[in-house]
Structure 1
Amino acid sequence: MATRMPSVLRTLALSRPATFTQTQHARRSFQTSRKMMADVVSPSKPIGAFRGSLLGFLLGTVLAGGGLYYYVVDEYKVSNELLVEDIYALQSAVQRLEGYVKALEEEVKTKK
C-alpha cells in the first residue's frame, strides 16, 4: 500500500511519530468471556448417516405411496362416474326401444 501513495504522503507517514492510539492497538490482546469460549452443546443426539438415509428413504416412499394412492382413488372415482353415466344412457336407450317395440306391437294388433 505504501508504494501506491504519493511520495509526499509516504514521507509524512514515515516521519510522523507513533501516537498513543497506534501503540494502544498494538498492545491489545484477544479476550473473550467464559460464556463465549464454552463449547456449544447440541440439545439432540445427531442422526447418523445410515439412520438419516434410511429415514429419508422411508419418508419419501411413504409420501410417494400416499400421493399415488390418492391419484389412483381419484382416477377410480372418475372412471366409475363415467361407467355409471354410460349405464344410465344404455338404460334410457333400452327403455326408448322397448317403447317403440310396444308401439309397433299395438299397431300390428290394431291392423289385424
Structure 2
Amino acid sequence: MAARFSTALRTLSLPRPAASLLQPTIAQQARRSFQTSKTLRDAVVATPVVATRRPVGAFRGTLFGFLLGSVLAGGGLYYYVIDEYKVSNELLTEDIYALQAAVQRIEGYVKSLESEVKTKK
C-alpha cells in the first residue's frame, strides 16, 4: 500500500523540466544584459535649485568671532566694574558717615571739656 501511494504521488507531481521554467538557471541569469528604453535614457533629471550662499571665509569668520568675543567680554567687564563701583561707593559712604559720627562725638567731648574749664576758672 505504501508503494502504491508513492507511485501515485509520482504521477501527480510536476515533471522536472516544468519546475526549471519557473526558476531560471545560473547560465540564463548570466546571459541577461542591462537594457533601458529610449525614453528612460532621454529623461531629464531635474536638480533642485539650491540657494547660493557666500561661504564665510576664514578671515571674515575670525574677525567676526574676535569682535563678538570682544563685545561680550567688554559687556561682562562693564557690568562687573559697575557692580564693584556700587559696592565700593556704598562702603565709602558708610565710612564717611562713621567718620562724621566720630567727629561729632569728639566735638561733644571738646565742648564739655571747655565748659568744665570755664567753670573751674
Per the shorter chain, which TM-score range? 0.5 to 0.7
Which residue of structure 1 lines up, in the alignment, with residue 68 of structure 2?
59
Alpha-carbon RMSD across the aligned residues, in angstroms, is 2.6
Question: Structure 2 unaligned runs (5+)?
Answer: 1-19, 24-39
Which residue of structure 2 lines up, in the alignment, with residue 72 of structure 1?
81
Deviation at 1:45, TM superposition (A): 2.4
In terms of Rg, which structure is larger? Answer: 2
Percent identical? 72
Question: Structure 1 unaligned runs (5+)?
Answer: 1-14, 19-28
Q: Aligned pairs, how many? A: 84
Deviation at 1:99, TM superposition (A): 0.5
Match of 2:91 among 82, 87, 103: 82
Separation (CA, whole Å) in 1 of partners of 2:57 and 2:49? 21
Query: Relative contact order (alpha carbons < 8 A, sep ≥ 6): 1 or 2 greater?
Result: 1
TM-score (norm 2): 0.58
Residue aligned with 2:50, SS? coil
Which residue of structure 2 lines up, in the alignment, with residue 93 of structure 1?
102
One-letter code of the match for 1:69? Answer: Y
Residue aligned with 1:40, SS? coil
Task: Confirm whether residue 50 of structure 1 aligns to residue 83 of structure 2.
Answer: no
Deviation at 1:48, TM superposition (A): 1.1
Which residue of structure 1 lines up, in the alignment, with residue 48 of structure 2?
38
Which residue of structure 1 lines up, in the alignment, with residue 34 of structure 2?
none
Deviation at 1:94, TM superposition (A): 0.4
